[in-house]
Amino acid sequence: MSKRRRKLDPRLDRKTAGALARLLVFLVVTGTLTAVLAVVIGNATFSETKKYHAIFADVTSLVEGDDVRIAGVRVGNVEHVQVESDSTARVTFAVDSSVTLTQGTLATLRYRNMIGQRYLSLSEDAEGSTLALEPGKTIPMSRTQPALDLTVLFAGFKPLFAAMSPEDTNKLTYELIQVFQGESGTVESLLTHTASLTTTLADRDELIGSVITNLTTVLKSFNDRDTELSSMISTLQQLITGLKDDRGVLTGSLDDIASLTTDTAGLLEDIGPPLTADIAHLRDLTDEIGTKQARRALDKTIKILPIKIDRLGRTGQYGSFFNFYVCDIGVDGKLPSLKNVPGWESPRTFETSTRLRVTGEGAQRCQ
């Protein structure tokens, strides 16, 4: 049995080699970019450095990796922050080997931005020693200064900030920090914003004066009516006390009102249909009264009604009874219809043709 040797496809070898080369290029590029990013974020330096120490009373928000600057130029970074036994803070920092510190060097913590990041600023004291400071030596607390206390600063400017817009407040705050940190280049900008604020307040002087005047008038009115106001307060207190004492009665009244409301709702439900029918009939009655004949009859009735009422009143003037005298008697009526009875299919009215008259002693009253 013979063995066959399998040969790889040359095209497959070229594809594999190309993919491997692209992968290696990708790994090299991404690795380089990652390293550069780590160096930038970590403020790492590859040149020779010299380490020093500085004692501070307060290093709030200062962390490892923060910048060390001289005249605003970055020359190193903070490497370590630790607390000493006397409740002070020791800051270890490194600067470029080309930088020379002296025994008169001042170390100050400054604000890097408005979110609270700090940096260590190094400067020379004009009256300090010019002798070189050996690497590893410590700058004493007498030549260090902690960061500005923003809480105390902004508390003093609180009334000013209350009259400003948020954008102007942010600008003025940042400039205040820079000014109090010794960056005098922003004083002009600070004065510009302050002048703008003063101008705005001056433009509103009339409005502010009007508010104060009106407030004075209101307070004067209250003062003039002090007695009435005191009486009103006393009366209101008595009212509230009375309501408190009668809260049981008021609570019971609310229950009764609820029951009355329920009964009234039931009554309205019961009289609803009859009331609707009465309104419809009233419309018909109005139409009937609106005719000329009905108006004449109504006028006649209204005219004779007082006479009838007067006569009717006389019958009861002798006591709690009515006194009548019979003058004549007659019978008038109407017979109903009777079905299936010839001649009585419709109602019939009748009236007596002869009326009986009273005679004798009482007949004179009927004249």
Domain boundaries, the chain: 49-150, 273-318, 325-366
The mean per-residue pLDDT over the stretch 188-211 comes to 67
**Whole-number pLDDT of residue 2:** 44
Please, what is the Cα angle at 157 between 154 and 159, to 5 degrees?
125
In this structure, which amino acid lies at residue 5?
R
Nearest to 110 by CA among 65, 151, 146: 146
Q: Which residue has the higher pLDDT, 267 or 363?
A: 267
**Whole-number pLDDT of residue 228:** 81
DSSP 8-state class, residue 165: -
> Which single residue is written with the structure tokens 């040359």?
10
For the cut 50, the answer to whether the pLDDT of residue 4 exceeds it is no
**Whole-number pLDDT of residue 141:** 92
Banded pLDDT at 89 (limits 50, 70, 90): very high
**Whole-number pLDDT of residue 157:** 65
For all residues of the chain together, what is the average pLDDT?
Answer: 77
Q: Which of 110-119, 136-145, 286-295, 307-316 has the highest mean pLDDT?
A: 136-145
The mean per-residue pLDDT over the stretch 211-233 comes to 80
The predicted model scores a pTM of 0.39
Banded pLDDT at 1 (limits 50, 70, 90): very low
What are the tens digits of pLDDT across the range 301-347?
Answer: 888 888 877 777 777 777 666 666 666 666 676 666 656 656 666 77
Q: Which residue has the higher pLDDT, 20 or 184?
A: 20
For the cut 70, the answer to whether the pLDDT of residue 152 exceeds it is no
CB 105 within 8 A of CB 124: yes
For residue 118, report the phi and psi dihedrals to the nearest 5 degrees: -115, 170
What are the tens digits of pLDDT across the range 234-263?
Answer: 888 888 888 888 888 888 788 888 888 888
